[in-house]
Amino acid sequence: EPPDTPHDFCCQTQDMRTITCTWSPGGDTYLHGRYSPTYTLSEEFSQKPVLCTVSCLKQCSCSWDIDQQKIYNVTVTVENPLGKKTAMDVFDVTHRIYPAAPFQLWAACTDTEITLYWKRRNKEIELFCQTEVLQPDGKVELHNSSEVHLHFSNITLSGLQPYTDYTVRVHCAAAGHFWRWSEWSEAQTIRTREAAPSGKLDIWREITPVWGGRNVTLFWKHAPSFRANGGSISYEVTWEKAEDGSEPESVSLSSVYNSTRISIGTCSYRISIMAKNSVNYSLPSILIIPRATGNSRTIFRCTKELKEQQVNGTDDGIFISWEPKAVYDSYIIEWCNFPTLQLCDLQWKTFEPNTSSALINSAAFVPGVRYSFRVYGSVANRASLLEKKIGYLRELPPLLDPTVEKVGLTSNAVTLSWDSYPTNESQSGFVRGYHVFISPVQEDCSLKGSKKHVLPDNSVLCKYTIDNPEEKRYTVKHLLPNTKYKLVVKAYTGGGETPIVNFIYIDTPFNSNLLYLLVLLVIVPSLVAALCLWKMKWVKECCCPVIPTPNKSKVLSFKEFKVRS
């Protein structure tokens, strides 16, 4: 095949001493040996062939020395026995400078600045350079620099974070006529120097009354605005009475700790927590523990008991809202990630004063667990409990059915009780009420006042609903006497109720009223009839005695005389 036209034919220089032209050779001609394509370069303005050696691998190139000429019209010709093709490039060599990459980078730095230096090979060419800075969060910043020295160039990068690693590299281009950037230098990672910790720690406390004082567990974590600014950090905890100016007490803890417990009296205390590195301390975070109030035997604070309010969970967390008050400068929500454990992993989150709701989420939240939240208002570092909330990420059906007892049974009614059934935090949802299901064993149910409930086997139960979780007694009426019934009581939550599996059975007794009716309608009339019969005989004998027959009278009976009829 004839050769393809050379693609991407372009000429440039790195040092204004040598011109290098490059091009793509095109497809295979399937001619080899002495029939392979040959390349020649010529320059039209000088009318001279270009004396250079062509080398082709993935790309072809050819280089030659620059003389006094500045404008070039270079033609590359590719030829084989089947044809010939050409490509041309016209250029001003001073506009085609492609500098060599910078090398030997080094730096001098402070806690917030890096001054980066590098060497360059094209000392006689005026360059401007660009420095790429890779931030720790993956963002890339570009900084331009036009300052050049005879043997090296430099740029000062400012506004950096202390004790932070930055990865930098440099490339350059001709300052007079931009043609293209050089290759990047080798990347260097540079760490700024340490500085004192910036910002404050986010701190919180848990107060436990004890005899004669209080145990205060202090917690701290790095707030979003806090930076350690150093490699090794420790924490300094200081506490003192807020009123009499007594000598403060303090304890130092290493970086592995995020909590500590101290014992204080019943007075008001001021607690300060600071972070410390090899340079200095951070600004202190302050907590004021108010004076404990109470009588001589207890130190419990006299606060009004707050009722727990139920809150709703979503797929993204548990929604908490509260009544804001202008007096507070911040709000704190406190909860435990593992409320059923003794070490519950206490958590807290601080909110701005113009906030009145929040979506609390945690990777530890699971469905079916009740979480308790406390909302505090803080003013001048003093926190006061405002509201209590309880909620589930997602409610589940109750784990256990109520244990039902019969407390009353007649021929047409049964009273059921499940007083021991819990509705507290042990449940996997808020118990909203109960359903009572009942049906005769031998037939479907159709009791007055009930709703029908169809089981998967198409049998029909009667269903009664109790919508008060604290009402744990119910009487089912309108039953038939002398009948066997099956029944079950199910608790339901916001997550529903479990399927019906097991029943309990009762037998209604025979109706005694029927027996009384039988006595009244059969036995009593029989007794009355018998009594009446007996009385009739007595009256007859008294009032109408039997008159003897003369023929049968012994007075008139003579053996000698016989009266013949």
**Residue pLDDT, tens place only, 321-347:** 999 999 999 999 999 999 999 889 999
pLDDT of residue 80: 80
234-241 and 269-276 beta bridge pairing = antiparallel
Residue 526 backbone dihedrals phi, psi, to 5 degrees: -65, -45
**Is residue 44 pLDDT above 80, yes or no?**
yes
Most confident by average pLDDT, 44-48, 290-294, 412-416: 412-416
Predicted local distance difference test score (pLDDT) of residue 542? 66
pLDDT band (50, 70, 90) for residue 115 = very high
Residue 563 confidence (pLDDT) above 80: no
| Per-residue tokens: 39 | 């390349």
Q: Sign of dihedral through CA atoms 120, 121, 127, 133?
A: negative
* Type of residue at 20: T
- CA torsion 8-14-18-23 (nearest 10°) is -10
Q: 3-class SS at 198?
A: strand
In tens, the pLDDT along 352-405 reads: 999 999 999 999 999 999 999 999 999 999 999 999 999 999 999 998 999 998
Task: Read off φ and ψ for residue 157, nearest 5 degrees.
Answer: -100, 120
Q: What angle do CA 409, 415, 420 make, to 5 degrees?
A: 125
| Residue 158 clears pLDDT 90, i.e. is over it | yes
Among residues of the chain, what percentage have pLDDT more than 90? 63
N-to-C CA span, the chain: 176
Average pLDDT rounded to a whole number, residues 215-235: 93
- Spatial contact of 186 and 137, defined as CB atoms under 8 Å apart: no
Amino acid at 519: V
Residues 205 and 196: beta-carbon distance below 8 Å: no
Q: Report how far residue 453's alpha carbon sits from residue 490's, in angstroms, rounded to the nearest whole number.
A: 13
Higher pLDDT, 501 or 533: 501
Task: Tell me the per-residue pLDDT of 505-517, one tens digit each, with 9 for 90 and over.
Answer: 999 998 765 555 5
Structure tokens at 26: 């095109």
Distance CA 274, CA 238 (A): 9
pLDDT score recorded for residue 48: 80
Q: What is the largest CA-CA distance in the chain?
A: 207
- Phi-psi category of residue 229: left, alpha or beta, with phi > 0 → left and psi -120 to 50 → alpha: left
**Cα(6)–Cα(77) distance, rounded to whole angstroms?**
8
3-state helix, strand, coil in the chain (%, to 5): 5, 45, 50
Q: Is the pLDDT of residue 34 over 90?
A: no
Least confident of 52-61, 157-166, 206-215: 52-61
Mean pLDDT of the chain: 87
User: Which of 35-44, 277-286, 367-376, 432-441 has the weakest average pLDDT?
Assistant: 35-44
Residue 476 near residue 436, CB atoms below 8 Å: yes
Q: How many CA atoms lie within 13 A of 544 on its CB side?
A: 4
Instruction: Return phi, psi of residue 534, to 5°.
Output: -65, -40
What is d(CA 315, CA 338) in angstroms, rounded to the nearest whole number? Answer: 19
Of the chain, the percentage scoring pLDDT greater than 70 comes to 88
Listing DSSP states for 85-149 in one string gives: EEEEEEEEGGG-B-PPPPEEEEEEE-SS-EEEEEE-S-TTS-EEEEEEEE-TTS-EEEEEE--B-
Structural contact between residues 503 and 485, judged by C-beta atoms closer than 8 angstroms = no
Alpha carbon distance 162, 157 (integer Å): 13
More confident residue, 46 or 105: 105
Q: Is the pLDDT of residue 407 over 60?
A: yes
Average pLDDT over residues 434-455: 91
Number of residues written out for the chain: 565
Separation between Cα atoms, residue 382 and residue 384, nearest integer Å = 7
The CA R_g of the chain, rounded to the nearest whole Å, is: 52
Q: Which amino acid is located at 388 in the chain?
A: K
Q: What is the pLDDT of residues 45-72, one digit of tens each?
A: 888 888 888 888 888 999 988 888 889 9
Tokens of 510: 């025979």
93 burial type by CB count under 10 A (0-12 exposed, 13-18 middle, 19+ buried) = middle
pLDDT of residue 249: 93
| pLDDT value of position 299 | 37
Q: Which domains does the chain have, with CATH numbers?
A: 7-95 (2.60.40.10), 103-192 (2.60.40.10), 201-298 (2.60.40.10), 303-392 (2.60.40.10), 406-508 (2.60.40.10)
Give the number of other CB atoms < 10 A from CB of residue 214.
Answer: 19
Q: Residue 546 pLDDT more than 60? A: no
Residue 558: what pLDDT?
43
Q: What is the pLDDT of residue 390?
A: 96
Q: Taking the mean position of all CA atoms in its chain, how far away is CA 479?
A: 51
pTM, rounded to two decimals: 0.72
| Helix/strand number for the chain, H first, E second | 2, 38
- Distance in angstroms (rounded) separating the CA atoms of residues 362 and 316: 9
Q: What are phi and psi of 425, to 5 degrees?
A: -70, -10
b/e string for 13-40 if b means 16 or more Cβ within 10 A? bbeeeebbbbbbbbeebeeeeeeebebe
pLDDT tier, 171 (very low <50, low <70, confident <90, very high otherwise): very high
How does DSSP classify residue 159? S
Which is more confidently placed, 547 or 6? 6
Residue scoring higher pLDDT (273 or 65): 273
Neighbours of 468 (CB within 10 A): 10
Mention every residue, 6+ apart, whose C-beta is less than 8 A from residue 507.
482, 483, 484, 485
**pLDDT over 50 (residue 296):** no
